[in-house]
């Protein structure tokens, strides 16, 4: 019997959640996603020293700001990933722009322009933006310009519905982080079928299919193989190298769990969202409110760490 990874690929687009090029080559996903945390880890590996060195040399020779060099490093990784995967690569806008519509739009345009200067078309890139109200509005502007967006840090139906209304290309619901909150808050254990993160994605999937939403759903942030199996059939799933390896080694049967026709019949009522309603619904959901804020803080922290790494290299003796 084919591995569970191969079975999953037959029903779901598999995406590698890593900056490690060797892992991407090993598991042959269609797409790849990155974020400041993954870039920070990969940039410290000897295998990717040339990507860091190129950015440092460029920064020194043109007297660029540390933040600009860090941006170049992220795009260096993204460009290399486009040479490996046949599909899309996600590059994240700075987390400290999560509440800045104009800043997010400007940064996204800069990222796309740099990729295009390197011969990488915008059709190969997804701009990752935190799904705040401001992030959603920025995505609406960018999508109208033909810049496709990956709305990240999705923890609630309200966020998913707002992203759909804005015409976002893709959303990334964070399955594992939802589970983490419930385990910590409630002190309970869950099976794959009762996992709150899995149930959240199933609810969003039903909503999108019932109302013919074209936005792609890409489950993310998995804690175990069971969560992935419970979402087999989802549009896309972005998976860490460790879990990709686990799936590749397992030759048991994997059943399709999500199907558009059957899911649509279980959809919640359609949401009519303006800014006040969005903020109220998000505020009513303690988990989503806390995990969105925490996610932005963590990405901001790792972005600062990445910039510090770049700063130290810029100041080092050449």
DSSP-derived secondary structure for 191-241: -TTT-HHHHHHHHHHHHHHHTT--SEEEEB--SSHHHHHHTTTSSEEEE-H
CB burial of residue 199 (10 Å; 0-12, 13-18, 19+):
middle
Least confident range from 101-115, 158-172, 214-228, 262-276: namely: 262-276
Least confident range from 30-34, 99-103, 148-152: namely: 30-34
Catalytic one of 4, 128, 225, 291: 128
Element (H, E) at 43: helix 36-43
E-strand ranges in the chain read 13-17, 31-33, 89-92, 125-130, 149-154, 170-173, 216-219, 236-239
pLDDT digits (tens, 9 = 90+) for 130-163: 999 999 999 999 999 999 999 999 999 999 999 9
Do the beta carbons of residue 201 and residue 230 sit within 8 Å?
Answer: no
**Is the predicted pLDDT of residue 78 greater than 80, yes or no?**
yes
Angle between helices 286-315 and 275-284 (to 10 degrees): 100
**Is the predicted pLDDT of residue 40 greater than 70, yes or no?**
yes
Q: What pLDDT does residue 317 have?
A: 60
Q: What pLDDT does residue 266 have?
A: 87
Q: What pLDDT does residue 75 have?
A: 96
Domain coordinates in residue numbering, the chain: 4-315
Output DSSP code: residue 315. Answer: H
* CATH fold of 4-315: TIM Barrel (3.20.20)
Q: What pLDDT does residue 318 have?
A: 56
Q: What is the mean pLDDT of residues 106-135?
A: 98
What does 162-175 look like in DSSP terms, one character per residue?
HHHHTT-SEEEEBH
Cβ within 8 Å of residue 120, ≥6 positions away: 78, 79, 82
Q: What is the pTM of this model?
A: 0.95
Separation CA 217–CA 276 (nearest Å): 25
Catalytic residue status for 291: no
Averaged pLDDT of the chain: 96
Q: What pLDDT does residue 232 have?
A: 98
CA dihedral 219, 157, 111, 12 (to 10 degrees): 30
């Amino acid at each position: 019997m084919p591995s569970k990874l191969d079975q999953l690929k037959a029903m779901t687009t598999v995406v590698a959640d890593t900056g490690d090029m060797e892992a991407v080559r090993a598991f042959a996903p269609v797409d790849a996603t990155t974020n400041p945390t993954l870039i920070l880890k990969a940039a410290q590996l000897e295998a990717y020293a040339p990507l860091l060195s190129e950015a440092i040399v460029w920064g020194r020779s043109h007297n660029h700001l540390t933040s600009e060099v860090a941006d170049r490093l992220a795009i260096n990784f993204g460009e290399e990933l486009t040479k490996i995967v046949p599909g899309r690569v996600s590059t994240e806008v700075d987390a400290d722009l999560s509440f800045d519509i104009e800043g997010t739009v400007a940064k996204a345009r800069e990222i796309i322009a740099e990729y295009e200067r390197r011969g990488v078309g915008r059709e190969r890139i997804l701009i990752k933006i935190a799904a705040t109200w401001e992030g959603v509005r920025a995505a609406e502007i960018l999508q109208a310009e033909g810049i496709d967006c990956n709305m990240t840090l999705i923890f609630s139906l309200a966020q998913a519905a707002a992203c759909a209304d804005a015409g976002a290309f893709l959303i990334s619901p964070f399955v594992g982080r939802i589970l983490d909150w419930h385990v910590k808050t409630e002190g309970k254990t869950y099976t794959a079928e009762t996992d709150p993160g899995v149930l959240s994605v199933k609810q969003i999937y039903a909503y999108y299919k019932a109302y013919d939403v074209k936005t792609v759903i890409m489950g993310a942030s998995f804690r175990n193989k069971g969560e992935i199996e419970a979402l087999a059939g989802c549009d896309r799933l972005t998976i860490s190298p460790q879990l990709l390896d686990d799936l590749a080694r397992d030759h048991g049967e994997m059943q399709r769990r999500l199907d558009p026709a059957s899911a649509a019949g279980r959809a919640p009522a359609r949401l009519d969202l303006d800014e006040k309603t969005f903020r109220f619904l998000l505020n009513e959901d303690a988990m989503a409110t806390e995990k969105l804020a925490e996610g932005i803080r963590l990405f901001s922290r790792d972005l600062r760490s990445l910039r510090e790494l770049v700063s130290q290299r810029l100041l080092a003796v050449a």
